[in-house]
């Protein structure tokens, strides 16, 4: 399991920055005072056995793999050592064999204060660390991005294990292919009134005259680390202590980021976020020391008898340079009342570099022998009270780090500079449109409202929303199909939309939203009532672009009774990750979706996409996939998940046609095709769609054709009808269009007959 870091964008001003600087300075001062005051513990140093931290890897925004497990091991070892309170032990060393007198140097034997031997170390506790979550979130609203992993949605692609890889990292701008998903998530409109505007308010302190468009911003971030610490006392300790402690460390602050759209500025974003992420997570790792320090306070000092000299001097293995104070008393840590040695007390008389020197002050020396384990007397008495704590629930330990500002990195050469005049023009434009931007800003990342805010205005379609009035509706059987049949909410088909989210407050989609009957609450109190945002890692899968809302509205236009499950994996620029993709498929299947819609396509042969499709196949869930809109013959250039229909029979791949049943071919959209993997064609040109903020328009893409087929499949496939039966019947009812034979298997075009 794992940990996380999140970021929200805040509008910065000089006063706030000054307050933050002062807060950080004050926290640094107090941290120094605390470190100084706790440097020398009264009883001496405790030996801690820190087990190797299992590999915890994260792929950074620059595509490099960073092992934070090694970071944690090094950081914790250093802090435990530097505190002056602990010794980090190597594997337990057994005392040397032979007469006790041979353990010490003959030269120094006559001077007890300088005894030297190969002292052993017995940890007061062995600590095993499991990283449950490790994440970093930057920015806010639609620009928010989540990196790392958490305990809720870990997958083989983001669980911190070895060999992880994000198949869709940020990359340099390629004008021929602006994203990993072609032109599916293209910007619509002109800045600042485009489909992504409204995301800039609160981006932080702007540095005009440096960079193009939103330039460099002083962006906020949030980081989180979730650990499970398992502490075990040595075998033979009395009582045997096992403590599980859940440690949550949160950090936040500001750093310089680059904005303006991922396509043109991903190089600068990559550099800025990699730097900020590394430093923020390092800070979170450092912050977990205090939790371990508190946990170790309850464990008593331990020692091992390394040797007993002829004069009764006892050589105690308490760890090299442990500095155990004279007067500390130990007793046998066996816990067996009948064993010889019961009641024997060994008291420390002095400490030497090899360990401690002791003598028996109560009981018989004859009952002691080399290799026996001793335990601090005062702690033993108090620990008997807590003997039943072995079954106690895990302790939750939360630490909030002080706000930390990350210095600006050098972005020269990474982001194009502009002139002062250009910067002024941008600033003026943003000032003029400020009221509009404020309004747009609050339309994003909303909670679900009990009632839709706006009602349809000037919409000529029947209620509920339907596509029956279109000229092509009769051709595909939509005009004559029965859309008024009553469907019980308990059996209404659940269609998962894995996309850019859904505007679930739109009048078209509002009453058709799937609701989770058993929501899960994460450590921050967020619940997945209506799906999840896997790219921002929050509970608001709201569409801050337009694509997901379009797809959802077409599904409802064909099957008004469908229930929509919004699963957001794309931000407004079409950026996603392998972990988000795989987690979304798993969520859809596990939460009862009968149909999954993938109204997008990529030429990346993605293991994450195939893993999701395979999981759906194994659980009887169909996947409707768009062929894509780049005019490619997929027998030559494969697009996923579209081509997976040849391997998995639950995948129904759809391409688009115009009103004349010709393969879609417009200025911006040319349908991909393949007579092997494409099973069906459907109308895809000038389809009426809903868009965020209660808007309506017409759009063109194979993604809308896939949405139309998904709505049709929802009529055929239900709780008592398998995906094999549903897809087979849908294809059987389709029309044969001879002109589509070179592009679609069997030349089939959608025709709804129920």
527 half-sphere exposure, CB direction, 13 A CA radius: 9
Please give the pLDDT value at position 256: 78
| Residue 677, C-beta contacts closer than 8 angstroms, at least 6 positions apart | 634, 642, 643, 644, 645, 646, 653, 745
Give the residue carrying structure tokens 């930057």.
138
The mean per-residue pLDDT over the stretch 430-457 comes to 70
Residue 385 has pLDDT above 60, yes or no: no
pLDDT band at 178 (very low <50, low <70, confident <90, very high): low
Backbone angles phi, psi at 663, to 5 degrees: -55, 135
Q: Whole-angstrom Cα distance, residue 397 to residue 134?
A: 16
pLDDT band at 639 (very low <50, low <70, confident <90, very high): very high
Q: Whole-angstrom Cα distance, residue 307 to residue 354?
A: 12
Alpha carbon of residue 729 to chain centroid: 40
Q: Whole-angstrom Cα distance, residue 422 to residue 428?
A: 10
Whole-number average pLDDT of the chain: 80
Residue 737 has pLDDT above 90, yes or no: yes
* Digit-coded pLDDT (tens) for 15-68: 333 223 223 333 332 233 333 334 445 689 999 999 888 878 888 888 888 888
Please give the pLDDT value at position 99: 45
The mean per-residue pLDDT over the stretch 198-210 comes to 44
In the chain, ranges of CATH 3.40.50.200 domains: 467-749
Residue 378 has pLDDT above 60, yes or no: yes
Q: Whole-angstrom Cα distance, residue 572 to residue 570?
A: 7
Show the beta-strand stretches assigned E in 599-717.
622-626, 651-657, 680-683, 687-691, 695-699
Give the CA dihedral 578, 580, 586, 587, nearest 10 degrees.
180
Beta bridge partners of 252: 222
Please give the pLDDT value at position 357: 93
Q: What is the DSSP string of 108-123?
A: GTT-GGG---------
User: What token pair was written down for 391?
Assistant: 């079954």
Q: Whole-angstrom Cα distance, residue 253 to residue 23?
A: 11
Residue 211 has pLDDT above 60, yes or no: no
Residue 485 has pLDDT above 70, yes or no: no
Residue 6 has pLDDT above 50, yes or no: no
Q: Whole-angstrom Cα distance, residue 87 to residue 436?
A: 61
* Digit-coded pLDDT (tens) for 565-588: 999 999 888 889 999 999 999 999
Q: If 0-12 CB within 10 Å is exposed, 13-18 middle and 19+ buried, where does residue 398 land?
A: exposed
The mean per-residue pLDDT over the stretch 447-472 comes to 66
Backbone angles phi, psi at 696, to 5 degrees: -135, 145
Task: Check if the beta carbon of residue 5 is closer than 8 Å to that of residue 284.
Answer: yes
Task: Check if the beta carbon of residue 123 is closer than 8 Å to that of residue 89.
Answer: yes
| Of the ranges 35-39, 78-82, 426-430, 436-440, the best mean pLDDT one | 78-82
Please give the pLDDT value at position 94: 42
Please give the pLDDT value at position 190: 75
Beta bridge partners of 3: 149
Number of other CB atoms surrounding residue 655 within 10 Å: 30
pLDDT band at 725 (very low <50, low <70, confident <90, very high): very high
Q: If 0-12 CB within 10 Å is exposed, 13-18 middle and 19+ buried, where does residue 388 land?
A: exposed
Domain at 467-749, CATH from 3.30.2270.10, 3.40.50.720, 3.40.50.200, 3.30.70.20: 3.40.50.200
Instruction: Name which of 169-178, 207-216, 515-524, 691-700 the model is least confident about.
Output: 207-216
The mean per-residue pLDDT over the stretch 721-730 comes to 94
Report the run of H or E that residue 736 belongs to, with start and end.
Answer: strand 735-736
Please give the residue that has the higher pLDDT: either 459 or 44. 44
Residue 124, phi-psi category: left (phi > 0), alpha (psi -120 to 50), beta (remainder): alpha
| Residue 249, C-beta contacts closer than 8 angstroms, at least 6 positions apart | 3, 224, 225, 226, 227, 284, 285, 287, 288, 291, 398, 399, 401
Report the run of H or E that residue 552 belongs to, with start and end.
Answer: helix 547-558
Q: Whole-angstrom Cα distance, residue 173 to residue 154?
A: 29
* Digit-coded pLDDT (tens) for 127-167: 999 988 888 988 777 778 888 888 777 888 888 888 778 89
Task: Check if the beta carbon of residue 2 is closer than 8 Å to that of residue 159.
Answer: yes
Please give the pLDDT value at position 23: 32
Give the residue carrying structure tokens 């000038």.
686
* Digit-coded pLDDT (tens) for 613-634: 999 999 999 999 999 999 999 9
pLDDT band at 335 (very low <50, low <70, confident <90, very high): low
Q: What is the DSSP string of 476-496?
A: TTTTTS-------TTTSPEEE
Instruction: Classify 654 as helix, strand or coil.
Output: strand
Instruction: Classify 107 as helix, strand or coil.
Output: helix
Please give the residue that has the higher pLDDT: either 739 or 465. 739
Please give the pLDDT value at position 303: 93
């Amino acid at each position: 399991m794992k940990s996380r870091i999140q970021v929200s964008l805040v509008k910065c001003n000089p006063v706030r920055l000054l307050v933050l600087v002062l807060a950080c300075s004050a926290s640094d001062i107090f941290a120094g005072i605390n470190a100084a005051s706790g440097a020398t513990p009264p009883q001496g140093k405790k030996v801690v056995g820190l087990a190797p931290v299992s590999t915890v890897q994260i792929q950074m925004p620059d595509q490099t793999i960073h092992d934070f497990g090694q970071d944690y091991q090094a950081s914790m070892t250093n802090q435990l050592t530097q505190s002056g309170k602990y010794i980090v032990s190597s594997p337990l060393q057994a005392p040397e064999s032979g007469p006790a007198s041979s353990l010490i140097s003959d030269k120094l034997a006559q001077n007890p204060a300088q005894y030297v031997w190969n002292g052993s170390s017995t940890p007061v506790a062995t600590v095993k660390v499991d990283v449950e979550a490790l994440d970093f979130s930057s920015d806010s609203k639609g620009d928010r991005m989540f990196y790392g992993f958490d305990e809720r949605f870990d997958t083989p692609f983001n669980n911190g294990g070895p060999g992880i890889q994000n198949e869709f990292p940020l990359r340099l701008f390629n004008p021929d292919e602006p994203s990993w998903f072609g032109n599916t998530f293209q910007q619509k409109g002109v800045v600042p009134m485009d489909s992504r505007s409204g995301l800039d308010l609160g981006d932080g302190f702007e540095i005009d005259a440096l960079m193009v468009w939103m330039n460099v911003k002083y962006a906020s971030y949030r980081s989180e680390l979730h650990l499970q610490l398992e502490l075990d006392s040595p075998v033979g300790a009395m009582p045997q202590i096992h403590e599980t402690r859940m440690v949550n460390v949160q950090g936040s602050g500001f750093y310089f980021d680059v904005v303006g759209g991922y396509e043109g500025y991903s190089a600068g974003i990559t550099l800025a976020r990699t730097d900020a992420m590394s430093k923020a997570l390092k800070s979170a790792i450092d912050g977990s020391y205090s939790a371990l320090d508190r946990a170790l306070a309850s464990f008593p000092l331990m020692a091992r008898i390394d040797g007993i000299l002829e004069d009764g001097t006892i050589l105690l293995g308490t760890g090299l340079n442990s500095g155990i104070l004279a007067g500390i008393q130990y007793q046998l840590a066996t816990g067996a009342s009948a064993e010889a040695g019961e009641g024997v007390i060994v008291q420390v008389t002095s400490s030497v570099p090899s360990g401690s020197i002791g003598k028996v002050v109560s009981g018989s020396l004859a009952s002691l022998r080399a290799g026996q384990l001793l335990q601090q007397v005062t702690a033993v008495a108090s620990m008997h009270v807590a003997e039943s704590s072995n079954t106690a629930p895990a302790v939750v330990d939360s630490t909030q780090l002080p706000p930390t500002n990350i210095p600006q990195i050098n972005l020269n050469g990474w982001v194009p500079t502009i002139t002062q005049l250009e910067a002024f023009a941008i600033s003026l434009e943003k000032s003029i449109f400020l009221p509009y931007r404020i309004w747009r800003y609050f339309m994003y990342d909303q909670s679900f409202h009990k009632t839709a805010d706006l009602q349809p205005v000037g919409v000529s379609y029947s209620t509920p929303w339907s596509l029956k009035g279109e000229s092509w509706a009769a051709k595909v059987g939509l005009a004559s199909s029965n859309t008024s049949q009553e469907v019980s909410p308990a059996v209404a088909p659940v269609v998962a939309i894995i996309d850019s989210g859904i505007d679930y407050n739109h009048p078209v989609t509002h009453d058709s939203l799937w609701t989770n009957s058993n929501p899960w609450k994460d450590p921050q109190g967020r619940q997945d009532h209506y799906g999840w945002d896997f790219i921002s890692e929050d509970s608001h899968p709201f569409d801050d672009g337009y694509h997901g809302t379009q797809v959802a509205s077409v599904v409802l236009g064909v099957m008004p009774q469908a229930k929509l499950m919004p699963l957001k994996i794309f931000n407004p620029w079409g950026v996603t990750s392998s972990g988000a993709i795989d987690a979304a498929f798993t969520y859809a299947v596990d939460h009862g979706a009968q149909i999954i819609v993938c109204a997008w396509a990529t030429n990346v042969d993605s293991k994450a996409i195939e893993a999701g499709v395979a999981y759906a196949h194994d659980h009887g869930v169909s996947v409707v996939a768009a062929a894509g809109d780049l005019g490619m013959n997929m027998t030559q250039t494969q697009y996923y998940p579209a081509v997976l229909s040849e391997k998995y029979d639950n995948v129904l791949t759809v391409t688009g046609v115009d009103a004349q049943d010709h393969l879609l071919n417009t200025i911006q959209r040319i349908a991909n095709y393949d007579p092997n993997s494409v099973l069906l064609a459907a109308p895809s040109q000038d389809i009426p769609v809903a868009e965020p903020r209660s808007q309506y328009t017409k759009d063109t893409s194979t993604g809308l054709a896939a949405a139309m087929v998904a709505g049709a499949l929802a009529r055929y496939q239900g709780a008592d009808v398998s995906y094999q039966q549903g897809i087979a019947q849908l294809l059987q009812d389709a029309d044969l269009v001879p002109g589509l034979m070179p592009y679609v298997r069997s030349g089939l075009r959608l025709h709804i007959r129920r």
